[in-house]
Structure 1
């Protein structure tokens, strides 16, 4: 069983439990559910945009503990002040140390910035959850979903007013990208070996239809990679560990964006 298999197994159990604690109707009564979402796509395409989607991430299966003492309110506020085009907040708890409360706090602290709920989305219940707790964008990971399931979830997300980021790792997964997707993200990390190669983005960029906004994820350590990826058609760059592993992630983000 791969790490991805373990994560999905745990996620199915978690979602089943959550449904017994907070049902759909309860979620829809949360004020955030009726909120109009901020557009990450528009922010990335805006003239002068940094393109940086700054992530709040405290641990990961590949790196272990990254920054367990970090406060989501402080760091996401600093990211916004640094000029980030959007935020990404981990809500997967078991493997990444994320939480729904971090998403809620990030939204309360930063009402006008687009926020991506970073999680393993396998059930339409999670989409309602995402909207209710303050997300503007949801992540669909092609490697975790069948083609029909990916399309169904993307369509339902759009019906809720959410934007959809579809993450791919290879050319085969491109067939799961559908008309309800707004942004295609290329993850430069190989899910089997966990090795990271920015050339993965460059190779796949040529295969992604032009009308999709393209973002690159993982292994983006400096402005050099950002400029290279921009030249190859990318508008967004999801960065977490590069910022989060430092003593002051917000300050690191600001220095990074200034160098761009």
Structure 2
């Protein structure tokens, strides 16, 4: 699946390369970037609520819900931060959604398949607080570290997603400090919270750990909290019923 997602990014990267040659890359965002990791640390099992219009496993989820409406609903329900899916082909996202959701005053994570420095520069043109980098999409820790450091130069924090211990080793070699454990098997697209359980013993005190995928009930939320995670990222479970605020209220009750 990751190769499939990467292939979908070729046209985007080519567009950015063309803009670079024309000296027309977007300028960095000049406003304040809200702290991301600090916001997660300040809350007991912080919730990163995701704006997710579609997915490869579910198809359309809630394409009728606008980013503005969902951002407002999540803020009212007590989300700590927002995850904004910007990948267009499989998730029906757009980069502009980040700008459209900033009005609620929550830190925002750009969730996409970022593998090239120019994608980081484009992310930095938005008010995003953080970018998602998937460890196994990189050939080496050096490549991953380059994008983390480039993000840092713009005030962008990096959430590095892992699936297993080898991914974690790569993330740490790249000096990642925000670790996101994905409970989704990318071969079957099924989720299993046992992945979170298996990885959490490796957590270091100075790191921020996020559990992602497969959390849809208050029982599962408490399970992840008891395991020792700092935050959870939830998308489909909040969007699929068409009432994100009610769904988040129910999850956090």
Normalising by structure 2, report the TM-score: 0.93
State the Cα distance separating 1:26 from its structure 2 match.
Answer: 4.0
Matched residue, 1:27: 26
Deviations 1:196-236 (A, max 9, x none): 11110111111232321111000001111121212221010
Task: Output one character per residue of 1:105-158: Cα deviation in whole Å (capped at 9) or x when no partner.
Answer: 112x22x21000000011111112112122111000012112221111111111
Are 1:16 and 2:14 matched, yes or no?
yes
Partner of 2:38: 42
Distance 1:21-1:152 versus aligned 2 partners, 3 A rule: closer
Gaps of 5+ in 2: none
1:138 counterpart = 2:140: no
Contact 2:45–2:225 under 8 Å retained in 1: no
Q: Which deviations, in whole Å up to 9, do the C-alpha atoms of 1:56-75 show, x marking residues without a partner?
A: 00111111111111111001
RMSD (Å), alpha carbons: 1.7
Q: What is the alpha-carbon distance in structure 1 between the residues aligned to residue 73 and residue 123 of structure 2?
A: 23
Partner of 1:238: 233
SS in 2 for 1:88: strand
State whether residues 82 and 106 of structure 2, in contact with CA within 8 Å, keep that contact through their aligned partners in structure 1: yes
Report how far residue 27 of structure 1 moved.
1.2
Counterparts of 2:218 and 2:137, CA distance in 1:
31
2:49–2:81 CA contact under 8 A, matched in 1:
yes
Within the candidate set 79, 96, 99, 1:101 is matched to: 96
Aligned residue pairs total 250
**C-alpha displacement of 1:50:** 5.3
Q: Which one of the candidate residues 63, 67, 74 is aligned to 1:68?
A: 63
Match of residue 191, structure 2, among 191, 196, 199:
196
Q: Residues of 2 paired with 1:21 and 1:69: CA distance?
A: 32
